[in-house]
Chain A
């Protein structure tokens, strides 16, 4: 029962991540997942992307998008496993994997965003 107090925070992160990913993922996926690789439109020049990504607001924004999206995944996927596969009894394994994965991913995101020239 010691975990109880953290649950509202996890729901808040789930919700914030759901909103951030709902707003920003589709457009980025269309651009970098299809439009540029398939040549629908000319991809941006490398120098332009470096300039955009290097802006502090973009760095922080993308870090926030990554972190919140990962916690959104962790929380929702945990319940997907609980309800979908009915393996709630494995929660001592599922919780560290989901939230631990989100923490590791967030650290990776921080590293990537800090390394932008």
Chain B
């Protein structure tokens, strides 16, 4: 794995100076890029948290209440606060690039970018309300 790739004699080596691991700290937009990349870790943590919740509910009422007490511990709360900040950042940055990723056409005309983004935010609000309504007892 650490062996250098085999270069043929006529193949020039690329000159790639090693950059500092902290290269992204010099510019705000690069910091935002790395923070956006790191958001995936917190998305993965949420999956773990959700599976623990569902497993606790399946085990019975006592396990469910134990889960809620565990979720109220300062350490878990801190992880979840950070996770919420990162996942909301993920949501905003993901929706804001949807016009570049989705070329929506209606009646032969391309839907303007801001409208594509706005419809995602609207769907976010509706889905969040639906989930809260389901969870809280309909």
Q: Which residues of A contact B (CB under 8 A)?
A: 15, 17-19, 21-34, 36-38, 41, 43-46, 48-50, 52-53, 58, 62, 65-66, 69-70, 72-73, 76-77, 79-80, 83-86, 89-90, 92-93, 105, 108-109, 112-113, 115-117
B58 CB contacts on chain A under 8 angstroms: 50, 53, 112, 115-117
Q: Is B77 an interface residue (CB 8 A)?
A: yes
A23 CB contacts on chain B under 8 angstroms: 91, 123-124, 127-128
Q: A31-B132, A37-B68, A65-B47 are in contact. List 9 more A-B contacts (CB 8 A).
A: A22-B90, A24-B128, A25-B90, A32-B53, A36-B68, A49-B135, A53-B58, A76-B39, A84-B21
B95 CB contacts on chain A under 8 angstroms: 22
Which of B64, B77, B90 is close to A46, meaning CB atoms less than 8 Å apart?
B64
Q: A52 contacts B71, CB within 8 Å?
A: no
Q: A29 contacts B124, CB within 8 Å?
A: no
Q: B46 contacts A28, CB within 8 Å?
A: yes
- Residue of B with least CB distance to A113: B54
Q: B84 contacts A44, CB within 8 Å?
A: no
B72 CB contacts on chain A under 8 angstroms: 37-38
Q: A70 contacts B47, CB within 8 Å?
A: yes
Q: How far is the CB of B108 from chain A (nearest CB, A)?
A: 25
B104 CB contacts on chain A under 8 angstroms: none
How would residues 35 to 49 of chain B score, 1 for a CB under 8 Å from any chain A CB and 0 otherwise? 001111101101101
Contact A27-B87, Cβ < 8 Å, known A53-B57, A86-B18: no
Q: A33 contacts B57, CB within 8 Å?
A: no
A109 CB contacts on chain B under 8 angstroms: 47, 51
Contact A72-B40, Cβ < 8 Å, known A37-B71, A53-B54: yes
Q: Is B9 an interface residue (CB 8 A)?
A: no
- Residue of B with least CB distance to A21: B43
A34 CB contacts on chain B under 8 angstroms: 77, 80-81, 84
Q: Is B106 an interface residue (CB 8 A)?
A: no
28 contacts between A and B (CB under 8 A): A22-B90, A22-B94, A24-B128, A25-B87, A27-B131, A28-B135, A31-B131, A33-B49, A33-B71, A33-B77, A33-B84, A34-B81, A41-B136, A46-B64, A46-B65, A50-B57, A53-B58, A58-B134, A72-B40, A73-B43, A73-B44, A73-B47, A76-B37, A76-B39, A80-B38, A85-B21, A92-B1, A112-B54
